[in-house]
Structure 1
């Protein structure tokens, strides 16, 4: 692996990925819409990935040993990338999400049922069964459904008649980095617990999976240089439910958490789930990636959020 193209890569763990690959001596190029420049020593291509002709023009005759796609959100984007990068890359990685396993967003018969086994393995999701998409009946969950289903369909586009060796990295909830953690989900707990404000939780919340922002950057870099294909789960060891998270935040702040139980179907705080789909990371571990433990890095991530 010598030449790497990162599509996106302008914020959070994408920036860490780019600098890691650059510092390891690879020729790295970032492709985005021009909203931000890449770090020093990194090439830059400006294009809208939805514009197939413009994307081809920006790439010119270039080819890459690996393409790491940080911002593929729809099957249309996947189809464009599949056509444009056919014959241009020896390996293509798409950053996907653990939300593809969420039983509340799976269309068709059995919707809302808990996948078996739990924690979910890569084989727990049958992409052929989830397509074509169905309309989600609960409009309150429409955004979550659309995100998960679009990611599932994007993966399926690449997996059907592959144009190149393809890997989908199904990422757990990414935390750490203070202000860099732009979703504000960890900050939500720090702020509420610090203020003594109740956290909205389910009566019996299920555990979920997390990964540190530097760890997912390390995994993407590692996976780009391997030979395996197909989906791979990316999660630190040690699933955690929302009350466990709140208790740890409270200990770091020297406070006591307060909870407010929500009614069935009502919106809860981030990471409070009434269904099980924490991930099994066994495939990546068996292939040689060494995961950290949530218990080891989460305290510092909480401190960073508090300082921010």
Structure 2
């Protein structure tokens, strides 16, 4: 892998991926809408695209070749179809950032529990997918198009909840601050379990997938998962303060991790390939402590 195209790459762990590629001496091009400034200076090339306008991709990619494309910004099968059509014969390997949302709610979901090769879908635009169920359908359909309608050496990396000191969503921080400020946290079930991954480890794994020969869907995340009860308890212990958890959920108090069930992945496949990730509980303890210290 020498020449790399990144669709997206200007926020969160996408930025980490681009920086890692630069540090490893790759020739990097990012393709975005051009609305978000980046800090990469002259170390990268930039293309402006509209993922819902096929002609803009064809024009941007005209006369260019890459070894690998990392797709960080696909949120519909239409976007996947357009990018794949525009990149036909221009790239060998396609690494798609997918999500564990492709699975039904549950604990320790394995890769074969969602098969994109047999998934029936229709092509819709990003704006047609609403809420969590829409997000799930969009990512499933995007995977299905990639694996069934293209000839790339393709990988779909199914990430769990991504956290880190650079997490702009502040979802974990939200829990810490609510406990600190004696505010209600609306949680329907404290027994729901979740998987996480550090942003720097997500970027590192994506990089590794670009260099790898692995093909297919793969889960990547921290060792083990954790229940909401365990997470809240850790925040209480670090803050030395009792959380005010309520099942009377409102739009103001609802937990950012409020989903319809457990959201947890099995990482046996990725571990068998020699990839290792941080321990979930220790990772979250360090981040909780970081947020607490930030607000002192």
Q: TM-score under structure 2 normalisation?
A: 0.89
Partner of residue 173, structure 2:
187
* In the alignment, structure 1 residue 258 sits paired with structure 2 residue 258: no
Tell me which stretches of 4 or more aligned residues in structure 1 moved more than 6 Å. Answer: none
Are 1:30 and 1:38, in contact at CA under 8 Å, matched by a contact in 2?
A: no
Are 2:196 and 2:225, in contact at CA under 8 Å, matched by a contact in 1?
A: yes
Question: What are the within-5 Å matches in structure 2 for residues 138-153 of structure 1?
Answer: 142-153=130-141
Question: What are the within-5 Å matches in structure 2 for residues 88-99 of structure 1?
Answer: 88-99=90-101
Question: What are the within-5 Å matches in structure 2 for residues 59-98 of structure 1?
Answer: 59-98=61-100
Question: What are the within-5 Å matches in structure 2 for residues 1-308 of structure 1?
Answer: 1-35=1-35, 36-40=37-41, 41-103=43-105, 118-127=107-116, 130-132=119-121, 142-177=130-165, 180-262=166-248, 268-273=254-259, 275-306=261-292, 307=294
Which SS does the other structure have where 1:48 is aligned? Answer: coil
1:128 is displaced (CA, Å) by 5.1
CA distance in 2, matches of 1:129, 1:193: 44
Give the structure with the higher percent strand: 2
Moved more, 41-50 or 77-86: 41-50
CA distance in 2, matches of 1:270, 1:279: 19
Instruction: Render the CA deviation track for 1:1-30: whole Å, top value 9, x for unaligned.
Output: 111111100011111110011001111111
Structure 2 residue runs without a partner (length 5+)? 123-128
Which SS does the other structure have where 1:50 is aligned? Answer: coil
Partner of residue 108, structure 1:
none
Instruction: Render the CA deviation track for 1:171-200: whole Å, top value 9, x for unaligned.
Output: 1101111xx312221121011101111221
Partner of residue 125, structure 2:
none
Structure 1 residue runs without a partner (length 5+)? 104-113, 134-140
1:279 is displaced (CA, Å) by 0.2
Are 1:82 and 1:163, in contact at CA under 8 Å, matched by a contact in 2?
A: no
